[in-house]
Amino acid sequence: MLSLRYLIRKLQGASHLLPALRFVWKGSPRWTLAHVTLIFIQGLLPIALLYLTKLIIDIVTSSIALPDKTLLFQRLLVLLGLMGAVTVIAAILAALAELVNSAQTQQVTDYMQGIVHAKSLEIDLEYYENPDYHNSLQRAQQEAFYRPNQILEHLIQLGQTMITLVLMVGLLVALHWGIAGILFAASVPSILVRLKYASILHAWQRRRTEMQRQGEYLSWLLTGDWFAKELRLFDLGNLFSQRFQRIRKQLYQETLQIGTQRAIANVLAQSLSALLLFSAYSFVVYQAFQGQLQIGDLVLYHAALQQGQAALKGLLGSLSALYEDNLFLSNLYEFLELQPKIAAPLHPKPLPRPMRSGIVFDRVSFQYSNTPRWALKDVSLTIRPGEVIALVGENGSGKTTLIKLLCRLYEPTQGKITLDGVALEQYDLVDLRRQISVVFQDYVKYYFTAWENIWFGNIELPPGAETVMQAAKQSGADAVIQTLPQGYDTMLGKLFEQGEELSIGQWQKVALARAFLRQSQLVVLDEPTSAMDPKAEYEVFQQFRQLIQNQSAILISHRLSTVKMADRIYVVDRGTIVEQGTHTELMQLNGRYAHLFETQAQNYR
């Protein structure tokens, strides 16, 4: 009983099992009910077959000494018919169980993927820049999609084997109580081995999660289309492949070492179990040899001993499997317990349409959690309604960080940002972001149709909306799309069949169209034309004032010729605004902006 108490004590901390079962039920209630019912019925059939076998053997042995076997033969036929029926039913139920299990597994897997996706969308951008988050996500993805179903399976097996075990132990106790004790003792060593190595494997997996991610990253580099050109030009393929092989070799050697130790422990445990069962079986044979048992009883007790041992091993195995499931499910719950720091207020204030006084950064400072360096320090600026401002500065000066704060992807470490005098955190988060159209420098290439790539800028528009084409014409994307084989219905990118790849500049025009489509009060263009040729850039900015109409705009660009049109220019250096004014005022100031402008202008003289 020591090991059983040990198992129960281990399972007392299994706080994740019940929520996991709720996941299974919510993901597939009907198939789950069918699955449980089928497995319960299947658990009763082996007992029926065993008892029918015993009756058939008794009839056969009794008929040897009888001259008239007619009555016994009729009974024999009935029993054989029943055995055949039970066998056919077992086969039918096995086929049904396979179908039900397949359907249920698919539904639960899809449901769990939805939960992981929802959590990924809920948490803040900050998590994506934290290696610990990626480790947590990796472990959650490894366990989330099959562990809940596996827990249900183990609980069902637990109930099924308990029924079988009670009946088998009852039979064996009728012969001798000591056999039941031997039966239990024979199952303990293997279970203890499993418990020990479940903990070892779980600890190893958590320790090596980052190394596994490094291997997956190298595999992505070797197979992804984004890196194919550079890998060939710089001959990086062999280097990355060797690094991948080194990582996989180390992981293989460590898992092989754990597996070898587990195999040795299992051999010792199984050998001890076999010796104990052999002693019990020898006692049953001796009883039959002494004439105290009939042949049918010998077969019955032998089968009961085997099935009882299998049932007890299954019972303890299910308990240890539940302990193992609980260990690994902690990875999923560690991920699901992540909470966003940025959330919408319970009672948000209505967002003004249109804004009246504008957006104000009031002494805003910001520091990323994983670095002591300040990304922004004491920044103050104003964006008035209908005003176009430009942010100028070197890479890493904090320009994009400022936009992330404006979109509430992060919260300021110090200071505040207001819209019409109200702090941004008092507005509904979704409503606020709907009023801001952003094209980041690292804009997304969506491998969908050209029409969808633009429509994603405002998915509230109905299919076929004319404004999609209008936005494409404004950004210059329409001329590109009209040359594609299926026009706006052409799949972009080479990831899927019949896809058409665009140049970087053409992709950028599509991303601009996506921003223009959104009927927002503020347009933010982060290096919006960096991949365009000077002529295309000139055309975009010539009509930019008309494109944004009454909207405010923020331009971030290294090409200072494109920011001359801004109403006010802010020069950012190391997270601080060092100069501000119109193009003319800054040129007269003859400071950093004037120096940068003159340096660039020399390249065109």
Q: Over 60: is that where the pLDDT of 176 sits? A: no
Nearest to 435 by CA among 543, 331, 515, 525: 515
> What is the pLDDT averaged over residues 23-46?
82
Shared domain check, 550 and 502 = no
C-alpha 108/C-alpha 32 separation (Å) is 9
In tens, the pLDDT along 412-471 reads 999 999 999 999 999 998 899 888 888 887 788 888 999 999 998 888 888 777 889 988
Domain range holding 487? 443-519
Shared domain check, 253 and 205 = yes
> What is the pLDDT averaged over residues 268-283?
72
In tens, the pLDDT along 82-102 reads 988 988 998 898 889 888 888
Shared domain check, 238 and 111 = yes
Query: pLDDT category, 160, cuts 50, 70, 90?
Result: low
User: Cβ(4)–Cβ(132) under 8 Å?
Assistant: no
331 versus 344: the higher-pLDDT residue is 344
Least confident of 69-73, 226-230, 386-390: 226-230
Shared domain check, 271 and 408 = no
C-alpha 53/C-alpha 72 separation (Å) is 15
Q: What is the pLDDT of residue 478?
A: 92
Residue 6 included in any domain: no
Q: Which residues pair with 572 in a beta bridge?
A: 577
Strands (E), 320-425: 359-367, 374-383, 388-392, 414-419, 422-423
Q: How many structural domains does the chain have?
A: 3
> What is the pLDDT averaged over residues 58-82?
78
Residue 343 included in any domain: no
> What is the pLDDT averaged over residues 336-362?
86
Could you tell me the two tokens for 283?
Answer: 């006692």
Shared domain check, 290 and 165 = yes
**Each residue of 469-505: b (16+ CB within 10 Å) or e?**
bebbebbbbbebbeebeeebebbbbeeeeeebebeeb
Q: What is the pLDDT of residue 381?
A: 93
Shared domain check, 65 and 212 = yes
Shared domain check, 254 and 360 = no
Query: pLDDT category, 235, cuts 50, 70, 90?
Result: confident
Angle at 446 between CA 445 and CA 447, to 5 degrees: 110
560 versus 448: the higher-pLDDT residue is 448
Least confident of 5-9, 188-192, 352-356, 504-508: 5-9
Shared domain check, 208 and 190 = yes
Q: What is the pLDDT of residue 60?
A: 77
Could you tell me the two tokens for 449?
Answer: 């149709």
Residue 4 included in any domain: no
CATH number for the domain that contains residue 605: 3.40.50.300
Q: Which residues pair with 439 in a beta bridge?
A: 525
Shared domain check, 462 and 371 = no
Residue 471 included in any domain: yes
Residue type, 479: A
Given 305, 336, 367, the domain boundary residue is 336
Residue 267 included in any domain: yes
Shared domain check, 535 and 507 = no
Q: What is the pLDDT of residue 366?
A: 93
Residue 461 included in any domain: yes
Q: What is the pLDDT of residue 2?
A: 41
Q: Over 80: is that where the pLDDT of 290 sits? A: no
Shared domain check, 427 and 412 = yes
C-alpha 187/C-alpha 202 separation (Å) is 23
C-alpha 2/C-alpha 583 separation (Å) is 83
Shared domain check, 370 and 407 = yes
Q: Over 90: is that where the pLDDT of 199 sits? A: no
C-alpha 487/C-alpha 499 separation (Å) is 12
C-alpha 541/C-alpha 194 separation (Å) is 68
C-alpha 430/C-alpha 343 separation (Å) is 10
Least confident of 167-176, 322-331, 592-601: 167-176
Least confident of 165-169, 291-295, 474-478: 291-295
Least confident of 136-150, 182-196, 224-238: 136-150
What's the whole-number average pLDDT of the chain?
Answer: 79
Q: Over 90: is that where the pLDDT of 42 sits? A: no
As a whole number of Å, the end-to-end CA separation of the chain is 92
Taking only Cα atoms into account, the Rg of the chain, rounded to an integer number of angstroms, comes to 36
Q: Over 60: is that where the pLDDT of 8 sits? A: no
Residue 11 included in any domain: no
Helix axes 147-175, 70-122, angle to 10 degrees: 150
pTM for the full predicted model? 0.68
Given 466, 487, 519, the domain boundary residue is 519
